Amino acid sequence: MFWAIPFSMYRGPGLHHLCDCLCTYVLESFLCLIGESKFKKPINFSRFAIRFNSSSSSSSQGVIASTMAYEKELAAAKKAATLAARLCQKVQKALLQSDVHSKSDKSPVTVADYGSQAIVSFVLEGELPSEPFSLVAEEDSGDLRGESGQETLKRITELVNDTLTSEALDGFSTLTAEDITRAIDNGKSEGGSSGRHWVLDPIDGTKGFLRGDQYAIALALLHEGKVVLGVLACPNLPLASIGSNQQHSGNEVGCLFFATVGEGAYMQTLDGSSKTRVHVSATENPEEASFFESFEAAHSSHDLSKSITEKLGVKVPPVRIDSQAKYGALSRGDGTIYLRFPHKGYREKIWDHAAGCIVVTEAGGVATDAAGNPLDFSKGRFLDVASGIIVTNQKLMPQLLRAVKESLNEKASSL
C-alpha cells in the first residue's frame, strides 16, 4: 500500500503536492467504504507520480517517480511484444507464398507485420484502458480493405485470434476482420512533443524475417517527446553472445530486451525467464572494438562504414544483421559500435530507433546522429538527423565522432 513508502524518499518542491494526493486518496478510499463516494474505483496513484516528478529537480526523485509512473506500461508493453513475437514465429516457421505480398511502395510485407501491429494495439488498449491511446506505427489497413486484400485480411484475423485464444486472456472474445483493421489503423497517430504516444515497428527487418534471419518487434513509449520506455522482442537472436564471425555457442534463441528511463536495461528469454541486467561493452581501444551495421547495403552505406572503421583502426569485419536486434546485441556488449548511414533522400522513422535507443542508452551507451546531436523523437513520425546514426559507449564516442566527420568530409569532397 502507498503508506508503506518511506516519506524520507520525498523531499523538495513536490512534498506538499504529494501530501495533498495522499490525503485525497485516504479520504476517497474511506468514502468508498461507506458508499458515499462518487468515484467507482481507487485513484490511480501512479498518475500523481508524474506530476510530482515534473516539479522535482532531484535525479533520485525522478527515478522513483518514473518507476511508479511506468510500471504498468512496461508490463503491458512486454506482454504485447511477446504475444506479437509468438504470432511472428508461427508465420516464419511455416511461411506460405500467400502470406507475402507487396505494399504500394513495393516493400515486402507479410501477414505477420499486420498481425503483430493488431495484437500490440489490442493488448495495449486492453491492459491500459484508463489511458488515452495514441499509437505511431508503420502499417495501415489500406491495402487490406480492397477486394485483393480480403484473403490476406482473413488470414491475419485467424492468426490474431489463434494467438490471443492460446493465451486465455480474461474477457477475450473473437475478433472480427473489422476489429483487426481498426486495431491496425490505431497506428496512424502523428506523435509529437506533448502527451503519451506508443511507437511501434511490428516487424523491424521484414527482409530478414523473410530470409529466416533477424527481426524485432520494437515498441517504445514517448512521454512529452522523450522516450521513457522500450521493449525489443528478438525471436531469432541467440541468448549467447554473437561475435564478429556470427558464431555462437548453444542453440537457444529468443531474447526480450527492455528498459525504463533511469532504471537500466535488462534481458530475458521470450518465455519469461528471470531478467538479467545488461551493459554495453567497456572497450576503450578502437582496435579491439567490433561493430554492427545493416545486413542490406541498400539500408546503410557499407563503404562509408568501412572508411570510418579503418580510421579508427578496427581490425575485425562487421557483423551485419537486420533490425533493431543490433541495438539489443550492442546493449549486452556483443559489439562496441553501431553505424547506420542511409542513402541520400532517406528519412529515418522514429519506430526504427525509439525502442533500441532507450535500451542501449539505459545500458550505458550513447546514441547520436553523425554530428553528435541527441536523437529527437518529438518531431512526429520522422527523425531529423544529420547524415546518419552512430552508437557506442561513452569513452569511444569522441574518437568515433572524429572518424565520422573525417570520412563524411572526404566523401563530400569526392563528389
Q: Which residues are annotated as a binding site?
A: 138, 201, 203-204, 352
Alpha helices in 296-353 (DSSP H): 302-312, 325-331
Q: Dig out the grid coordinates for 142 from the structure.
A: 489500406
Across the chain, which distance is largest between two alpha carbons, in Å? 79
**Buried b / exposed e along 173-191 (16+ C-beta atoms within 10 A):** eebebebbbebbbbbebeb
Angle between helical axes of 15-33 and 45-54 (0-180°, round to 10): 170
Residues 396/365, Cβ–Cβ less than 8 Å: no
- 113 in catalytic set: yes
- 24 in catalytic set: no
Q: How far is Cα 91 from Cα 159, in angstroms, rounded to an integer?
A: 9
DSSP assignments along 279-290, one per residue: -------GGG--
- Tell me the binding residues for Mg(2+): 138, 201, 203-204, 352
Active-site residue (options: 99, 113, 185, 369): 113
Active-site residue (options: 152, 181, 206, 392): 206
Half-sphere exposure of 165 (CA within 13 A, CB side): 9
User: Which residues, 6+ apart, have CB-to-CB distance to 34 below 8 Å?
Assistant: none
Burial of 61 (0-12, 13-18, 19+ CB in 10 A): buried
Active site residues: 113, 206
